[in-house]
Amino acid sequence: MTPTAQPKTTMPAEATLRQAVAKRDESFDGAFVYGVVTTGVYCRPSCRSRPAKPENVRFFANPTDAEAAGLRPCKRCHPRSVHDGTSQLMQGLAQYIDENADEPMPLARLAKQAHLSPAHLQRKFKAVLGVSPKTYQDAARLKRLKSGLKSGQSVLDSIADAGFQSTSRVYGATTRNLGMTPSAYRAGGEGETIAYACRGTALGPLLMAATDRGVCFAQFGKNAAALITQLKSEFPRATVVASNMAESPELDAWIRAFEAHIDGSAPRPDLPLDLRGTAFQIRVWRFLLKVPEGDVISYAELATGIGAPKAVRAAASACAANRIAVLVPCHRVLRGDGGLAGYRWGLERKRALIDHERAGRGL
């Protein structure tokens, strides 16, 4: 099956790319490569080879993409070794950020660590990791915060240990990623009410649960009892209640709409979602929400689509961590060879969902 959802590129604008090649700007080495269709060769931006006619030049995010287009590496500038070296350097810098996430990390400090200018470092880091150093550090701090909260550490100590400079900043940033306040997260959802409803569907028993922000859990299982146990393990201190009009007037209607979609009698319902995960996981899940019904993409295309082409395994892990079946459509991601790969709710369900969506579009 050929995917029709086109991943977003993470390269700069074409005018910037052409300017970098014209100036042979070494700061862009590792950020992209360019190929010349008349010679069948691709180069790094700073290559000293004879300039090609603009209409013969093509740009690629990395050597793999250039080689997939039938080009071979330049023997003069060795673009693959430069790109791989840059990737290794930036991965090492990412590890440095992880290990020191609680400390102030101005761009100048990171640039000194990498022996690059701040502007060059910013550009190369984003080309390899898909996000800026600051965004990466914010995600690393959030990971530390969640770890501290889960271990039972106090909210203020967890915030301080994670390196956040004020409670106002952490509450503003983390509620978008945790889906709840830090104190509620530490308490396993304590103080929150999560309502659930369970139904039999064409794909087996389904339990859907929601907070006042939206659906936070939608999973298939063996039976209702097992699904309720799983829900409670996700939110051990929340008040988990069976749905009724007093607790969640929307949930019963939502699950009926979802069930109708599974049975093939209605389109996928557009329900509010309460996504809870790391910054990286949420980027993956939000990208999946943009993949049209009936389309499929590979894990490599997913990683490229979120701006982190090297993070294929991490993107696959984010799919595996998805708690909201079908509504966050991780079933639309396949192996590069078109194989189904894994699916936490079973490959038969994955195949059935893809076939159903494609049939709905007449594919």
CB 138 within 8 A of CB 78: no
Sign of torsion, CA 238 239 241 245? negative
Q: Which range has the worst mean pLDDT, 26-30, 110-114, 148-152, 273-277?
A: 148-152
Class of domain 14-81: alpha beta
Burial class of residue 46 (count of CB atoms within 10 Å of its CB; 0-12, 13-18, 19+): middle
The domain limits of the chain are 14-81, 136-186, 193-263, 279-360
Which among 77, 198, 216, 330 is annotated as catalytic?
Answer: 330
- The residue with greater pLDDT, 166 or 95, is 95
pLDDT of 37 strictly over 80? yes
Q: What is the 3-state secondary structure (H, E, C) of 52-102?
A: CCHHHEEEECCHHHHHHCCCEECCCCCHHHHHHHHHHHHHHHHHHHHHCCC
Top mean pLDDT of 101-105, 175-179, 188-192, 302-306 is at 302-306
Task: State the alpha helices, DSSP H only, in 115-223.
Answer: 118-129, 133-150, 155-162, 167-178, 182-186
User: Residue 222: enclosing H or E segment and its boundaries?
Assistant: none
**Beta-strand runs (E) in the chain:** 33-36, 41-43, 57-60, 72-73, 193-201, 204-210, 215-220, 239-242, 297-298, 333-334
How do residues 233-250 score in pLDDT, each as one tens digit? 888 878 898 886 545 666
Q: Provide the token pair at 228.
A: 């309720």
As a whole number of angstroms, the distance between CA 275 and CA 323 comes to 9
pLDDT of 171 strictly over 60? no
As a whole number of angstroms, the distance between CA 295 and CA 110 comes to 40
- The residue with greater pLDDT, 326 or 277, is 326
> Which bin fits 132, alpha (ψ -120 to 50), beta or left (φ > 0)?
beta
CATH number of this structure's domain 279-360: 1.10.10.10
Catalytic residue status for 319: no
Catalytic residue status for 198: no
* Mean pLDDT for the stretch of residues 185-201: 74
Q: Which CATH architecture has domain 193-263?
A: 2-Layer Sandwich (3.30)
As a whole number of angstroms, the distance between CA 206 and CA 200 comes to 6
pLDDT of 172 strictly over 70? no
Classify 199 as helix, strand or coil: strand
On average, the pLDDT of the chain sits at 79
Which among 43, 74, 216, 319 is annotated as catalytic?
Answer: 43
Q: Provide the token pair at 118.
A: 């701040």
What's the number of CA atoms in the CB half-sphere (13 Å) around residue 289? 16
Q: Provide the token pair at 318.
A: 């984010």
Question: Interior CA angle at 12 toward 10 and 16, to 5°?
Answer: 165
